[in-house]
Amino acid sequence: MEKSNGLQVILFPLPIQGCINPMLQLAKILHSRGFSITVIHTRFNAPKASSHPLFTFLEIPDGLSETETRTDDKTFLFTLLNRRCETPFRDCLAKLLVSSDSETEEKKQRISCLIHDSGWTFTPSVTKSLKLPRLVLSTYTVSFFLHHFALPKLRREVSQDSEQDDLVQDFPPLREKDLVRLLEEKREYLEPYLHMMLEATKSSSGIIFMSCEELNQDSLPKAREDLKVPIFAIGPSYSNFPASSGSLFTQDETCIPWLDKQEDKSVIYVSFGSLVTMTGAELIEIAYGLRNSGQPFLLAVRVGLVKGTEWIEVIPEELKAKLDEKGKIVKWAPQQEVLKHRAIGGFLTHNGWNSVVESVCEGVPMICLPFIWDQFLNARLVSDVWRVGLHLEHRIERNEIESSIRSLFFGNEGEAIRERMKLLKEKVGRSVKENGSAYRSLERLVDQISSF
């Protein structure tokens, strides 16, 4: 940490893995610039405070029952959290402001602002009453964040049986068939929730994206025009500040010595993030595709990934024995360490934004298999816009998986993809270096926070 600048920033992440990691990365970045950090968090999915001894963690009650925390309808979950957390959050923040004012001069750390996840929508009234400036962190790519406010309108217009490859004009680069899958999810709370999120963003002092101009060339100018607040695309800075310490899952470190024994760029890494669920039949098809490809593989099967099972018991014993000959199956992998490893040659991914950014930063080409929400758009960016991956088009069949792995590792198309990925990695890498687009954006953000 640079010398303390006497300013404190309050951070408030949404309690899911894909939102906690970027918020803690942002905390590390700001701490390195002299800010002291206090993280207010819910009891549900509380981050591990012991992994971040330099930050202060304050837990608030969220009132969620165990049944509510297990719901598949994330919009319902976030709506509940916003209802239940407003009063405890207000009380916690008010106490912090009072104690900050009463500190002695030597210990004084003036609270500069609140930075909260875009999923918290009750914050405008709280911060207004306490006269505290407020910034928003979006864990989506700019394009998805900007266009997903149109989803209620698109739901009314789209044909539910569309399998069209046509671009959705109001939501590029999504295809019509992606939109149908995205809208399949049960989201009766979606319209009011998105409306409140948009209002909370537009009334903020700015929005932060863990991305850069190089990954959002088309959408950033439009976002500035539509949202009319300062936008800080501060870059995928995770390479300087690893997120592994923010993991809510126990990481199986045994996969690293296993990777050490594999040849360079020979292994396909397979992971579907912290929220996706699939059927047992789908996991079996993926397992056969991996086995039949002949490539060594590292497969992460999160507990809860396969509906109605404990772990991987759905895979027949005979297939399991064959899988063990070529690959390794773990419950959760230290993903950043894995993607950095010289043995990794490809990533079969659900295309969560954090995973996409980490893959780009490490120059690992992708095979796209999106399941929910922003993953469909992220997959189109990877396969259609940047052209640094192949798209399975939701065909979870062993032959398709085998053939995509072979194409990526041995085909001419795979070679072209690897070359484009190498160039994209270099462009994104330059953005966070001195005078790069993300570096300059971070400087502006630090100036903005310091000016409050």
Over residues 399-435, the pLDDT tens digits come to 999 999 999 999 899 999 999 999 999 999 999 999 9
pLDDT for residue 246: 62
Q: Are residues 255 and 383 in the same domain?
A: yes
pLDDT for residue 268: 98
367 falls within a domain: yes
Q: Are residues 263 and 407 in the same domain?
A: yes
| Alpha-carbon torsion, ordered 171, 177, 183, 185, to 10 deg | -140
88 falls within a domain: yes
Find the mean pLDDT for residues 63-88. 93
Residue 171, exposed/middle/buried by CB under 10 A (0-12, 13-18, 19+)?
A: buried
87 falls within a domain: yes
Q: Are residues 291 and 221 in the same domain?
A: no
181 falls within a domain: yes
Number of domains present in the structure of the chain: 2
Q: Are residues 63 and 155 in the same domain?
A: yes
pLDDT for residue 71: 87
Q: Are residues 405 and 441 in the same domain?
A: no
C-alpha–C-alpha distance, residues 106 and 108, integer Å: 6
Residue 284 has pLDDT above 80, yes or no: yes
Q: Give the percent of the chain with pLDDT over 90.
A: 81
Q: Give the percent of the chain with pLDDT over 70.
A: 94
Nearest by Cα to 227 from 149, 151, 126:
149
Strand order in the sheet with 231-233: 56-60, 36-42, 7-12, 110-117, 134-138, 207-209, 231-233
C-alpha–C-alpha distance, residues 116 and 195, integer Å: 17
414 falls within a domain: yes
Lowest average pLDDT, out of 161-170, 352-361, 420-429, goes to: 161-170
2 falls within a domain: no
1 falls within a domain: no
Q: Are residues 214 and 277 in the same domain?
A: no
Q: Are residues 208 and 129 in the same domain?
A: yes
Q: Are residues 48 and 83 in the same domain?
A: yes
pLDDT for residue 1: 54
Find the mean pLDDT for residues 74-97. 95
- Where does the pLDDT of residue 100 fall: very low under 50, low under 70, confident under 90, or very high at 90 and above? confident
Residue 148 has pLDDT above 90, yes or no: yes
What CATH number should be reported for the domain holding residue 361?
A: 3.40.50.2000
Residue 24 has pLDDT above 90, yes or no: yes
281 falls within a domain: yes
Q: Are residues 337 and 438 in the same domain?
A: no
Q: Are residues 324 and 236 in the same domain?
A: no
Residue 243 has pLDDT above 80, yes or no: no
The one-character DSSP state at 306 is B
Find the mean pLDDT for residues 216-241. 86
pLDDT for residue 238: 63
Q: Are residues 63 and 187 in the same domain?
A: yes
Q: What is the pLDDT of residues 387-406, one digit of tens each?
A: 999 999 999 999 999 999 99
> pTM value?
0.94
C-alpha–C-alpha distance, residues 332 and 300, integer Å: 5
Residue 48 has pLDDT above 60, yes or no: yes
Domain region containing 281? 249-429
Q: Are residues 52 and 82 in the same domain?
A: yes
Residue 245 has pLDDT above 60, yes or no: no
